[in-house]
Structure 1
Amino acid sequence: MDEETHHRIQQPTQRDDAVVVCALCGTSAESGTTPPTWICSVENGRHQYFCEECARTHIRAIESRLDSAWW
């Protein structure tokens, strides 16, 4: 079998019916997608989203790459 296998890199997708919620304060996004002002952090293999207000409050810890458990 001389068949070539083509691998496509797929970007992670978010379900349309999923509600995006801030991991700290519990604020939910108005739409089903993550607002551009929110921050996404990958901690222990999980995507966590933080609203604009929480991100601004903890920006130094985020930039220092500290896990949210340390904030």
Structure 2
Amino acid sequence: MTSLPGGSDKGGSAPEPHPIVCARCGTQARAPQPTWTCSVENGKRRYFCEACSRENLRAIEGRLDSAWW
């Protein structure tokens, strides 16, 4: 393995992915889900599960920030 500046290794195992968490209800998913919604609010990505996305579809389509739902 080759060590890069800063002490990280170039090879080896990839970092473990962080679970995706619904910003509204807290439901977790290990990998991106095709039925989830991703929104960028104030420069930050926020993910919403299928249930929360369906409940707030009109607000999402109207581009309202999730604070308004």
Which bin holds the TM-score, normalised by the shorter protein?
A: 0.7 to 0.9
CA RMSD across the alignment? 1.2
TM-score (norm 2): 0.75
Identity %: 60
Partners of 2:40 and 2:21 in 1: CA distance:
15
Q: Which has the higher strand share?
A: 2
- The residue that corresponds to 1:44 in the other structure is 42
After the TM superposition, which segments of 4 or more aligned residues of structure 1 sit over 2 Å from their partners? none
Unpaired runs of 5+ residues, structure 1, are: 1-14
Equivalent positions of 1:1-71 (< 5 A) are 16-29=16-29, 31=30, 33-71=31-69
Aligned length: 55
More relative contact order, 1 or 2 (CA 8 Å, 6+ apart): 1
Structure 2 unmatched runs, 5+:
1-14
